[in-house]
């Protein structure tokens, strides 16, 4: 296992696994992925409704607020967007960690650029795949959110490596 970590193959395996998970997820309709019934079950008393009722913004041309979507759909929106960010955070970070040993420390910037652009490219093809799936809406804004997740992971890894190097 130590050898797998050192040569980056373990992390590239995680990246491949994440791409499979994302592909399967994109193959599912909204109804198959919907968390509305779970949210209704556990948040039936609508905690924090008063606090969140003041939040309103536009995402992909639609208003996101409790008034426009209702409490359950409002909460589900944030769960779905957090899933976008998190899955691509894992994908971008694992691609970067998998590439680092193969670059032989020549350029962490090159590894960052490749990992970030590869994750962003995968996000774009993933949204295209959603377009082919019934009941799904591909959004450019989701690609940008995914891209931010991947970039955040890469930058955090660089920051951690820099801080470790100073110790």
pLDDT in tens, 86-130: 999 999 999 999 998 887 656 778 889 999 999 999 999 999 999
Q: Which residues make beta-bridge pairs with 63?
A: 58
- pLDDT per residue as tens digits for the range 18-56: 999 999 999 998 888 889 999 999 999 999 999 999 999
In whole angstroms, what is the distance from residue 31 CA to residue 53 CA?
Answer: 26
In whole angstroms, what is the distance from residue 96 CA to residue 117 CA?
Answer: 11
Domain edges within the chain: 2-33+80-166
Closest CA to 121 of 92, 94, 93: 92
In whole angstroms, what is the distance from residue 57 CA to residue 63 CA?
Answer: 6
Q: Which residues make beta-bridge pairs with 62?
A: 59
The per-residue pLDDT for 114 is 94
Q: Are 106 and 113 in contact (CB under 8 A)?
A: no
């Amino acid at each position: 296992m130590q050898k797998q970590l050192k040569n980056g193959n373990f992390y590239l395996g995680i990246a491949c696994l994440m791409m499979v998970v994302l592909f399967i997820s994109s193959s599912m309709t909204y109804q198959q992925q919907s968390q509305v019934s779970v949210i209704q079950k556990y948040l039936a008393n609508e905690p924090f409704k008063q606090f969140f009722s003041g939040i309103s913004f536009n995402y992909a041309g639609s208003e996101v607020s409790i008034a426009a979507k209702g409490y359950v759909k409002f909460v589900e929106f944030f769960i779905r967007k957090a899933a976008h960010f998190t899955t691509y955070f894992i994908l971008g970070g694992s691609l970067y960690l998998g590439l680092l040993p193969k670059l032989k420390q020549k350029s962490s910037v090159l590894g960052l650029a490749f990992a970030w652009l590869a994750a962003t490219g995968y996000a774009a093809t993933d949204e295209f795949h959603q377009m082919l799936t019934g009941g799904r809406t591909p959004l450019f804004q989701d690609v940008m959110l995914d891209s931010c997740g991947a970039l955040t992971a890469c930058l955090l890894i660089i920051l951690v490596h820099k801080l470790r190097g100073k110790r």
